Amino acid sequence: MLAMVKPFKGQKYHELKQACLREHRLFEDPEFLAGNESLFFSRRLPGPVEWKRPKDICDNPHLFVGGISSHDLHQGKLGNCWFVAACSCLALQECLWKKVIPKAKEQDWDCRRPEKHAGIFHFRFWSFGDWTDVVIDDRLPTINGELIFCHSNVPNEFWSALLEKAYAKLVGCYEALDGGNTADAMTDFTGAVSESIDLRKGNYGKFLLEQTKLFEDLLKAHDRGGLISCSILPDMANERQGTTEQGLVRGHAYSVTDIRKLRLGGRLLAFFKAEKLFMIRMRNPWGKREWNGPWSDSSDEWHRVSEVEKKNMGLSVTDDGEFWMAFDDWCNNFTDVDICRNLNTSIFSIHKTWEKATVRGAWLHDEDPLINRAGGCFNNRATFLQNPQYVFNINKEEDKVLISLQQRDRRPYRKDGRGENYIIGFEIFRVELNREYRLHRLQVQERVVGSTYIDSRTVFLRTILKKGRYVIIPTLFQPGDISEFILKLFTDVPSELRELTLDKPEPWCGSFLCGYPQRVTQLSVHSVEGLDRQNGSRSANPYLIIKCGRESVRSPVQKETFDAVFDTQAIFYRKNLKDPIVVQVWNKKLLCDQFLGQVTLVGEPGDSRELRTLQLRDKGAPDAPPVTGHLSLKVVSTDNLMEL
């Protein structure tokens, strides 16, 4: 990992620390000055701010006191509950926080060797696809000797305050942390994929089956080291940070600190009755203000739980901001949940593994439509296909696909008034099985699924795709806007994700001998009907072979049917116009596949582009004897190689 970490602003922690130790001085960061410009750019200071080092705030400062805990954090005078909630989640996973706070013991103060402390720390964040090492000095903003931003409930513990400062440096200043999405911070702590779920849209509070599926999904994510947070969207802007009758704060991020199935009653009674309750535990980053409904800290419901079980759950009746809820109450009170998943891509695992493909791209504007890559969303039909295009394959009969589109973080531009996220999204089209060039016409492609369009840093989609070839087109909502993005695709088997860069075949030195395409023909085979029931067979396993010249395309096999729906496409850039297009129907058999019939097409530009039903014929010329069965298809031919 060390070889892949990039130093932020070129600052290398070990070199800077050694220089300070040699010169017997404490580090002062020239890239993030201890001044007002590092605090706010549009707000007034909350009072006379003085930057102090931890050794000037308390005696015997440390990064951790009694270990790291989700209880260590308290939000300060900044609207960054989203960040503090993510830090609470991070503290629960040792393998994750050790990446963010590298070699914490070596960085810590050593009271026995104070001369080894140089007032310098470093933290690591996953910044737009790269682990980035951020160096800071340990001067922290205070008022009347007290920290004004994130702090611990233990006076001499400083990991949370220093981590917050490093993150503020990464995005420009402290004010840039005001308001945000917990999923973004969780992604920056892990490099993992974040998914946002709208609990109202999914009706999880009403449908028990969907609620159970969600609980099992969250439980699995939590058990495998994922980070989870939740919030309540206010109905109106003036309700932000208003409190519900049962003590929950609207417009406020909570960290999920535990999920479990609770046994009710004594151990013996619970064993025989198998009575279990789905439970979820959360923490308010304020360190106070808890849920006061059923299963709150001192509610009567806890009398149904054994003392041993209470101890195992870590039940506390103090107002520390952490509380339990029944999962159905949680679904009915919260509106949004963010899940940061550590998707398993290791081949050495007993758990489900994913094949991951990642590409970087950019939406770049140019007046030339052949070069322009900022065409806007699908509503802009004239320019939409000018966006970047990526092709991938689904190589199973059916595959679960996870797609994440992330734009570059806009927070560093907030000082310049350009810090708002762009609205982003993507569309997926099913295309020809042999598509190798960019799409140029929407009317001949099947739009399969698309993401929501939202002004979020990351857009996520989970879907099921059938076997075939697809093109995904990531876009900004407005044409002409420019930005960078990272596209991640997770499938069961490798997808061969790659960008389509060429508009048509390129001429090469041998073109004058071998020829250059003069026509492009797209073939869409819808179905075959009434195949020959030879030898009394009860069913067939038909598939297609589509040929043109030396190129051929084979469709997936349709099992046990004489009337198969293929919806298969192929495209051919034709050098010799005398070569016809032949569509053959074959029957997949154990030893030797059986030919069932074919159709032969000329593919002229003037031919009908409507759906046609053609008689299957034997091998040979177009007028070969007919055989049982009909093929339904569309053919589109044009001498403009950039029309399809």
Active site residues per annotation: 81, 252, 284
Beta strand 542-548 with 551-554 is antiparallel
Contact 73, 80 (CB under 8 A): no
As a whole number of angstroms, the distance between CA 337 and CA 324 comes to: 16
As a whole number of angstroms, the distance between CA 598 and CA 518 comes to: 25
Which residues are CB-neighbours of 200 under 8 A, at least 6 positions away?
335
The residue count of the chain comes to 644
What does the DSSP assignment read for 541-597?
-EEEEEEETTEEEEPPPPPS-SSEEEEEEEEEEES-TTSPEEEEEEE--SSS-EEEE
Q: Say if residue 612 is exposed, middle or buried (CB neighbours under 10 Å; 0-12, 13-18, 19+).
A: middle
Contact 489, 496 (CB under 8 A): no
Name the strands in the sheet holding 594-601, side by side, starting at the edge strand that comes first in the sequence.
551-554, 542-548, 581-587, 594-601, 612-617, 626-638, 519-529, 564-574
What does the DSSP assignment read for 213-274?
HHHHHHHHHHHTT-EEEEE---SSGGGTT-B-TTSPBTT-EEEEEEEEEEEPB-HHHHHHH-
As a whole number of angstroms, the distance between CA 158 and CA 44 comes to: 25
As a whole number of angstroms, the distance between CA 282 and CA 295 comes to: 12
Contact 81, 181 (CB under 8 A): no
Q: How far is CA 542 from CA 497, 533, 556, 590, in A?
A: 28, 12, 9, 13
Cα torsion for 330, 331, 333, 336, to the nearest 10°?
Answer: 110
- For the beta carbon of residue 421, count every other beta carbon within 10 angstroms: 18
As a whole number of angstroms, the distance between CA 326 and CA 643 comes to: 57
Query: Three-state SS across 624-638?
Result: CCEEEEEEEEEEEEE
As a whole number of angstroms, the distance between CA 442 and CA 644 comes to: 8
As a whole number of angstroms, the distance between CA 167 and CA 189 comes to: 10
Reference 47, options 76, 83, 74, 79; nearest CA is 76
Which residues are CB-neighbours of 135 under 8 A, at least 6 positions away?
7, 8, 11, 12, 13, 16, 29, 31, 120, 121, 122
Q: What is the DSSP letter of 145?
A: T
Q: What is the DSSP letter of 336?
A: E
